[in-house]
Amino acid sequence: MGNTMQKSEETKVEEPGLLRQEEDSNFTCEICTEPMLAIRKFKNGSLCKHPFCLDCIAKYIEVTVEESTGCIECPGLNCKQPLDPLSCRRIISKPIFEKWCDHLCDSTVLGSESCYCPYRDCSVLVLNECMDNLKKIKCPNCKKNFCFLCKIPWHAGYRCNESRHLRDRNDILVGELIEEKRWTRCYNCGHSVERVSGCRDIKCNSIQPCSQKVSSIQNDSKDLELYSMWGSVLPSMWRTIPFRSL
């Protein structure tokens, strides 16, 4: 009698586990509406868990890739989650997977600010992955500096609108010296000045009639790392660099 009751209790304990196992084993594909076992269920990484069978997802990807689509969204109703390419790799053919990856790369390039390295021995495509207003950058391939705005070799000491007027090697050397010494120039007359002491404001007092006065607040913080700033302090605190107007 005691043994019979013990067996009945063991059966009752096991039944909920068996029911859960049966629930996990079967599902209905939302595309073909056929009942499927759990091993045939597609798993989209950790993005979403819509019930689709592997065959339907594979066909869906193949058709979508042929339509030249980069990011493929889950076919679930009102679901905007993308399909994980790595989760799909084993259920689609190699040519389809490679074509999908090519579309993803193309869509990434088109959606990002980019330019080609201006050096002839390089010419690789460089992307602005930081989404910042880049100017001076180093090519990840040839390791040379160039201007991302002008798309030409880096014009040290010169503004973008002046870089096209560089005349000879001496102009380049002067520009490199200006950048190395962290000098700045009057936006009106172009004379270079060096801050000796005092605040970051100056009043241009070159020989030419200028007296240009520019508020330091208007300058970009990135320029602050490279150049001095503008405004009005005692001229004795500044030294005019004896270069011609650049």
pLDDT tens sequence across 81-140: 999 998 899 999 999 999 999 888 878 777 677 788 888 888 888 877 766 666 778 888
Q: How far apart are alpha carbons 97 and 103 in whole angstroms?
A: 10
pLDDT of residue 211 exceeding 80:
no
Q: What residues does CATH 3.30.40.10 cover in the chain?
A: 24-110
Q: Which of 153, 82, 88 is nearest to 116 (CA)?
A: 153
Mean pLDDT of the 32-46 span: 90
Highest CATH level, class, for 24-110 = alpha beta
Query: Could you tell me which residue, 110 or 221, shows the higher pLDDT?
Result: 110
Residues 191 and 146 sit within 8 Å (Cβ to Cβ): no
